[in-house]
Every structure is written in C-alpha cells, then in structure tokens.
Amino acid sequence: MGIQINRKTIKAFILDELSGEMLSLVSNAILTDERLAKIFEEEKFKIDIKRYHDNEMTPTQRLEFESRQIKELKFSVEVNQNEEKNNSSDELPLRRKLDEAHSTYKSSQKQHSNAPRKYSINRRFKYWLAAATIVMLIISGEWINYNLQPSDSLENSLYTEYYKRLGPEDFYLFNNNSLDIAKQKYVDGEYSNAILLLRDIPSTINVEVEKNFFIGLSMMEIGRYNVALGYYNQALSSQSDFNLIPQTRWYLGLCYLKIGDRKKAIDTFQTIVDRNDYNYKQAKKILKKLRD
C-alpha cells in the first residue's frame, strides 16, 4: 500500500518531524508531483514569512529568502508585460498577495480604529507586509542584483579549469540521518532535492557548518554562485573545527572567480597557500595567473 502524502505530511516534512526514510520519500514526491510541489511552496512560504517577520532566520537564510522574492518579482514583471500586450485582465500571483495584504490592512484599520495602534494590524497581515516590504525595496532600487553572470574572462577560464565537484571519497557518508540522506542526494546529482532536505534540517551547533557547506556545493551546481558565497562565508565565520573547512575555503575562492571578483579570489587563495590548506598547489597556480 502506497504512502499517502498530504498537506499535513508536507508541513511535517518542512518542520523536520519525519523519519529519515520518510524525508527522502516525501522530497522525491514533491519534486515529481506538481500538486504536491504547489502545496509545498504554499506551506513553505507561510512558514518562511513567519520566520522572516519574527527574525528567526540566519543572515544567509534571510538573503536566500529575499533572493527568491527578487526572482519571483522579475518573473511577475515579465508575465505582466506579456499580459499587457495581450490585453489580459488576469492578476499576477505576486500582485494578488500585495492586494490581499492591502485589503487586510484596510479591514484591520476599520475594525480596530479605536484600539491601541500596536494591535491594529493582525498577524496574517504582518506576514504579507514583510513580503510586500521586500518587493518595495526591490522596486526602489535598494537591492543588489545577485545573479549577474560573469563574462568570458580570465577568472571564468580559471574556474572552468580548476573546478571539480566534491566526490563521496572526500567526506564521510553513513546514510543514518537526514543530513546524510541530503548529502547522498548531492552525490547522486539531485541538487535541488539535496537543497530541499538541507534547508529543513534544524540548525544546531553540530550540523550547521556542514549543512551550510553542502548547500553551498549544491548551489554552485545549479549556478547560484552568489547564494553559495553566503553559505560558505557563514560556515567559515563559525570558528568551527569542521574537518571540511579547508575545502569550504577552496570552493569559496572558486565562487569568487566565477562571479569575477578578482580581489576576493586572490585574498582567499592566498589564505589557502599561507596555510598549506586543501589544494594549495593549485591555489598557487591560480594566484600566479591572476597576478601576471
């Protein structure tokens, strides 16, 4: 008999309340079933907007959440332009969210006009307001474009020459918990699935650095280099004795190459050379070419 996966199951998946086996089954189902994927996005957004508003996200998680809103806004603008050409009257998903926030706010003002101001906006509106604030910041031009593609430069050529995916022979893999299951997804080339699992693993001192490292690796594989940078830097700033810290610094340097930030790439590879860290001989070669 097949396992029934519903909204309650997906919410438990997001909150990491399932067994390791169930985590893998549900993540595969979400990635292959459009209906379940839609439910996941709905529940994930509710949880994320609450955590964002309540300031429960790490800086990297906030950046990633905000980046997703930027991407959605860009897509919405493109769709809106096409709809205007076709004289369509359909509303965009993002516009509906903002309209709902506005309507909720107006209703709240009417219902609580005589109440103390701090109670005039209900909790649901606060979550929509947080999303609307992100969008308005983007519109006002206060956000950096995190998805600029580098040109065919020396840095990009060096990245292509020296980048090699971390293999299973480079780290321990026991497959006995949700972190190991996520790492196995990375090994199998299921990067979106790995990110999906890694994001929802509760952050603890013991797993946070390793979790950030593997999210960074997976983000690189899907071309999200700027997002990967945030995870690598967070891992390095933790002062952890995580045994893959040298590898983290190496991939951080490669990310800087890929986005064309020569100065930070040089600083990172110089640190690797000074410490005789992972791939320090390759780092020397990269530095020589960057400084010639």
Q: Which of 170, 202, 165, 197 is nearest to 181 (CA)?
A: 197
Whether the Cβ atoms of residue 208 and residue 231 lie closer than 8 Å to each other: no
pLDDT in tens, the chain (292 residues): 457 888 888 888 887 787 767 877 888 788 788 888 888 888 888 888 887 777 777 666 677 777 666 666 655 555 555 555 554 444 455 555 555 555 554 554 455 444 443 433 344 444 444 555 554 444 444 333 344 444 568 999 999 999 999 888 777 766 557 788 888 889 988 888 888 888 877 777 568 888 999 999 999 998 889 999 999 998 998 867 778 899 999 999 999 999 999 999 999 999 999 999 999 999 999 999 999 8
Q: What is the tens place of the pLDDT at every residue in 178-235?
A: 788 888 889 988 888 888 888 877 777 568 888 999 999 999 998 889 999 999 998 9
Q: Is 11 exposed, middle or buried (0-12, 13-18, 19+ CB in 10 A)?
A: middle
What are φ and ψ of residue 276, in 5° steps? 55, 40
Q: What is the CATH code of the structural domain delimited by 154-291?
A: 1.25.40.10
pLDDT computed for residue 161 by the predictor: 94
Where helices occur in 56-92 by DSSP H, the ranges are 59-85
Using N-to-C axis directions, what is the helix angle for 245-259 and 262-275, rounded to 10°?
160
Domain ranges in the chain are: 1-56, 57-146, 154-291
Longest dimension (CA), the chain: 71
What is the reported pTM?
0.55
